[in-house]
Every structure is written in structure tokens, then in C-alpha cells.
Amino acid sequence: MSLALYPSLVFTVVLLFATGYFIMGGFPLLILSHDTPKDARFVGKFLGVYYNCTFWPATGASISYALWGHATPATAAAAVALSAMVLKRRLGPVMDQIARQIEANHPKAIARYRKLHSATLAINVTQLLVILWSVSRVPL
């Protein structure tokens, strides 16, 4: 048995906890009207924290699974880490831009922000499913 088993399990638990926590926290935020810049900034910062809290454990899980010799969960965790990094870099500025449009009372900004918020939650659920599927491929 490889010693990489233990960090793999720890990183996976942290990753599942972070993903589940932010999904459960993100869905109720859809109730917000998003009509004030504070709402938009809060949701944007919330998602930024999520991407940071996902990137590091996903990276650790990927490395640990690779050292343990399990390519499927290593690849899936790497994909989650990469998606978290890309989403933070791409969506953060877009969400900030839309928040400024909301502040300027742009008529379609709130609808765009809600769609983007919903899309990020769908991506988060997909990340969770990928993690669960890949872990199910590890033989016990």
C-alpha cells in the first residue's frame, strides 16, 4: 500500500467539503435580486473564494493520486484544479464588469449576472460529479 493513499483521501475530503459547501451556499444566493452592486460584489467574492478553496486541494489530490498510481482520479482532480483557475481568471473580471453595469443601471445587467451566477453553480455541480465519479473508479 502506498503512502500516497493518505494525502489522497485528505485532499479528496477537503475538496468534496469545499465543493459541497460552496454549492449549498451558492444556490441560496440566487434569491438575491442582484439589483445592487453589493449583491453582485458579494457573489463575485464568494465565487472567488470558492475557486481558491477548490484549486489547492484539487492540485494536492491530483498529485497524490498520481503518486498512488491512479490516473483517473488524478486526471479528474487536475481538471477540477484547472477549471477553478480558469474560471477565477475569466469569470472574476466579467462579474466585476457586470457589477459596474448594475451600478450604472444598465437594463440587461441584472439578467446577465443571474445567468452567469447560475452557470457557475452548474459548473460547480459538474465539478462535484466529476470528483465523485473519479473516486468511484479507485479500487478498494
Q: What is the pLDDT of residue 114?
A: 86
Q: Residue 17: its pLDDT value, please? A: 95
Type of residue found at 4: A
Neighbours of 73 (CB within 10 A): 24
> Would you state the pLDDT for residue 28?
86
Find out whether 80 and 54 touch, Cβ atoms under 8 Å: yes
pLDDT of 1: 63
Q: Where are the beta strands (DSSP E) in 51-133?
A: none
Which residue shows C-alpha cell 485528505? 10
Domain boundaries, position 44: 5-136
- CA 46 to the chain's CA centroid: 10
H-helix segments, the chain: 5-26, 37-68, 71-103, 109-136
Q: What is the pLDDT of residue 14?
A: 96
The CA distance from 117 to 16, in Å, is 20
Write down the pLDDT at residue 27: 86
Question: What is the pLDDT at residue 2?
Answer: 78
Map grid coordinates 478553496 to a residue. 53
User: What's residue 56's pLDDT?
Assistant: 96
* Full-model pTM: 0.86
Splitting the chain (140 residues) into consecutive groups of 10 residues, what average pLDDT does each group show? 85 95 88 75 87 95 94 95 93 86 83 89 94 88
Q: Would the CA dihedral through 132, 134, 136, 140 be positive or negative?
A: negative
What is the count of structural domains for the chain? Answer: 1
110: which 3 cell numbers?
Answer: 441584472
